[in-house]
Copies of this chain bind each other. A is one copy, B any other.
Amino acid sequence: MKNVSSYILILVAVLATTFSCKDQVTSKSANENTTISDAHPKLILTAQGVKDIRAQLGTIPIFDNTLAKVKEEIDAEIEAGIEVPIPKDYSGGYTHVQHKRNWVVLQKAGVLYQILGDEKYAKYVKDMLMEYEALYKTLPLHPKTRSYARGKLFWQCLNDSNWLVYVSQAYDCIYNYLSEEERSKLETNLFRPFADHISIDSPQFYQRVHNHSTWGNAAVGMIGLVMNDQELIDRALYGIKDLKLDATKKDDDGGFLNKDGKAGFLANIEEPFSPDGYYNEGPYYQRYAMYPFLIFAEGLHNVKPELKIFEYKDGVLLKSINALLNLSDADGDFFPLNDGQKGMSYYNSALVTAVDISYHYGDQDPGLLSIAKEQNQVLLDDSGLAVALGIKNGKEEPFNKKSINLSDGPNGTQGGVAILRNQDIELVFKYAAQGSSHGHYDKLSYSLYEKGEEILQDYGLARFVNIEQKGGGNYLKENKTWAKQTIAHNTLIQNETSHFNANYDIGSQHHSVLHYFSSENENVKVASAKESNAYPGTEMLRTMAIIKDEDFEKPYLLDIMKVTSASTQQYDFPFYYFGQVLQTNFEYKTKETLKALGSKNGYQHLYLEATAKANSDNSKFSWFSNNKFYTLTTVTNHKDELLFTRIGANDPEFNLRRDPALILRTRNSKNKTFVSVIESHGSYSPVTESAVNSKSNIKELKVVLDTEAYTAVQLTNIKGNTKLFITANTNASKEAKHNITINDKNYEWSGSYYFN
Contacts and interface: CB of A to CB of B under 8 A. Distances in A.
Interface of A: 92, 341-345, 347-349, 464-470, 473, 580-583, 589-590, 592-596, 607, 609-610, 622, 624, 627, 644, 646, 648-655, 657-658, 660, 684, 686-691, 694-695
Contacts of A92: 691, 694
Contacts of A583: 469
Most buried by B among A345, A465, A622, A686: A686
Most buried by B among A345, A473, A658, A691: A691
A467 B624 contact: yes
Contacts of A686: 341-345, 465
Contacts of A650: 590, 592
B594 A466 contact: no
A690 B343 CA distance: 12
Most buried by B among A341, A465, A689: A689
22 contacts: A341-B686, A343-B686, A343-B687, A344-B689, A345-B687, A348-B688, A467-B684, A467-B694, A468-B691, A469-B582, A469-B622, A580-B655, A580-B657, A590-B651, A590-B652, A590-B654, A592-B595, A593-B593, A593-B594, A593-B595, A609-B648, A658-B658
A468 to B, nearest CB: 7
Contact of A688 (B349, B592, B690): B349
A594 B647 CA distance: 13
B466 A690 contact: yes
A592 B651 CA distance: 9
A654 B580 contact: yes
Most buried by B among A624, A653, A654: A654
A576 to B, nearest CB: 14
Contacts of A687: 343-345, 347-348
Contacts of A627: 343
Given A594-B594, A622-B469, A694-B467, A581 B689 contact: no
A583 to B, nearest CB: 4
A22 to B, nearest CB: 32
The 10 closest A-B pairs by CB, nearest first: A343-B686, A581-B654, A594-B594, A469-B583, A465-B689, A469-B582, A593-B595, A467-B691, A347-B687, A590-B652
A658 B581 CA distance: 11
Contacts of A469: 582-583, 622, 694-695
A689 to B, nearest CB: 5
Contacts of A343: 627, 686-687
Contacts of A464: 580, 624
Given A343-B686, A468-B691, A594-B607, 10 more contacts: A92-B691, A342-B686, A466-B689, A467-B691, A469-B622, A580-B654, A593-B595, A594-B594, A610-B654, A658-B658
A450 to B, nearest CB: 19
A644 to B, nearest CB: 8
A742 to B, nearest CB: 35
A468 B343 CA distance: 34
A609 B593 CA distance: 11
A429 B684 CA distance: 30
Contacts of A592: 595-596, 649-650
A652 B589 CA distance: 7
